Structure 1
Amino acid sequence: MNTADEPQARPGAPVTHVLYLHGFRSSPRSFKAQRMAAWMQAHRPDVHWWCPQLPPSPREAVDLLLQGTADWPKDGMAVVGSSLGGFYATVLAERRSCRAVLINPAVEPARDLARYIGEQTAFHDPQQHFFFRAEFVDELRELHPPAITNPRRYLAFVATGDEVLDWHEMAARYAQCGLHVIEGSDHALSDFDAHLPRLLGFLGLQPSAV
């Protein structure tokens, strides 16, 4: 179900650099990150792929991303983010004027993550612990983009079955963007494979000719 006209891939330079951002307590080992990485390696090895492990501090995470993409062409770069990574993707898209694909993006992470202050474990490695500090909530609040300045740069996937975030809030935040509302599914978007072609199409990424 679509609730907004979905824009076509952006005109201009083709995508040459793709950044993938995982969510809270997640990692580059997430299912979606692995599936995208595998597709890129198999079909578009010519496109630069980067999926970093993000630090717990939001300020440090955004600084890492800005520094790591400093020499990327804004017309040729795209960022894909899931959950908290979707929030970071929005921050980056607003600062770099690049294309962004959001998957069940966090809209108010300062509010939602305040309850997680304290020691946390990583989803993909329970032996790995980190401390989510109170000041990180303030950092999220400071990073929050006040508005979406160019909705045509965005495509958002929002699942009505999301058990973590309110899909109505996500849909309202990105209502003027390319918005694909998925009936059912879940926060992890477990049926990601079914939506990958739409994501790649928005970015203008097709398998390279042999």
Structure 2
Amino acid sequence: MTAGLIYIHGFISSPQSHKAQLLCRYVAKHHPDIHYMVPSLSNQPAAAFRQLDQLVQNFLQEKTGPLGLVGSSMGGFFATALAERYRLPAVLVNPAVQPHTFGEHFIGAHHNPYTGVDFKLEQADIDVLQSLVVKPEAGRYWLMVQEQDETLNYRDAVEFYSGVQMTVEPGGDHSFQHFDRHLAAIMAFLHLSPSAD
């Protein structure tokens, strides 16, 4: 059986993000049998979600092992939609909660410094985000937030994901400092580690 792990990066980010690379190195060293995927997502929400949806479908059709998700920021939002659609376990790191409510921050011109791409978001993109909001089923999530997240209010996630396993750390920031301390536990939670059996 081949297990899979998808890391979903956030808005204006890339597979080169610090957490994606930490997880990549950890999996390569400790779980080389796991198929680790970090797609470079479109800056447009609809296209990004289509990419992820197709990736999950392809894995589930071709592989026989379990699949887990780790999503950060906007990636946590996408991970929630995918987890509910396909009944997958997911770890959410400082996730965006109902990002369509921040439409005024998204609409307009943006630059992705990781990829060098300039792009624009419109109201239609915000509508796509709203259409992806789902009620999370508590048993499939581990919420990880830090109270000093400078981008998102951690309380929004704690409230929205009420009832899920959660780690709320004092201090920190939006990048989730010391993420590497949790990697072994993340693999176990996603049932991708022998210690989870």
TM norm structure 2? 0.90
1:51 lines up with 2:41 in the alignment: no
- Aligned pairs for 1:168-179 within 5 A: 168-179=155-166
1:78 lines up with 2:68 in the alignment: yes
| Residues matched between the structures, number | 192
Select which of 83, 99, 121 maps to 1:93: 83
AA of the residue aligned to 1:194: R
Query: How far off is 1:15 after superposition?
Result: 7.6
Structure 2: gaps (5+ residues): none
1:157 lines up with 2:144 in the alignment: yes
1:136 lines up with 2:121 in the alignment: no
Distance 2:32 2:26 in 1: 9
Q: Deviations over 1:143-169 (max 9, x none)?
A: 111x11x31111010111111111111
TM norm structure 1? 0.84
1:35 lines up with 2:22 in the alignment: yes
1:191 lines up with 2:178 in the alignment: yes
Query: How far off is 1:200 after superposition?
Result: 2.2
AA of the residue aligned to 2:84: E
Query: How far off is 1:26 after superposition?
Result: 0.4
Distance 2:169 2:39 in 1: 27
Distance 2:162 2:37 in 1: 28
Select which of 154, 166, 180 maps to 2:167: 180
SS state at 1:102 partner = strand
Identity %: 35
AA of the residue aligned to 2:155: H
Distance 2:151 2:16 in 1: 20
Query: How far off is 1:75 after superposition?
Result: 6.9
Asked if 1 retains the 8 angstrom alpha-carbon contact of 2:3 and 2:192, the reply is no
Aligned residue in 1 for 2:96:
106
Asked if 1 retains the 8 angstrom alpha-carbon contact of 2:46 and 2:128, the reply is yes
Structure 1: gaps (5+ residues): 1-13
Distance 2:69 2:189 in 1: 12
Query: How far off is 1:61 after superposition?
Result: 1.5
Distance 2:103 2:31 in 1: 36
Distance 2:120 2:40 in 1: 15
Asked if 2 retains the 8 angstrom alpha-carbon contact of 1:87 and 1:106, the reply is yes
Aligned CA RMSD, in angstroms, stands at 2.0
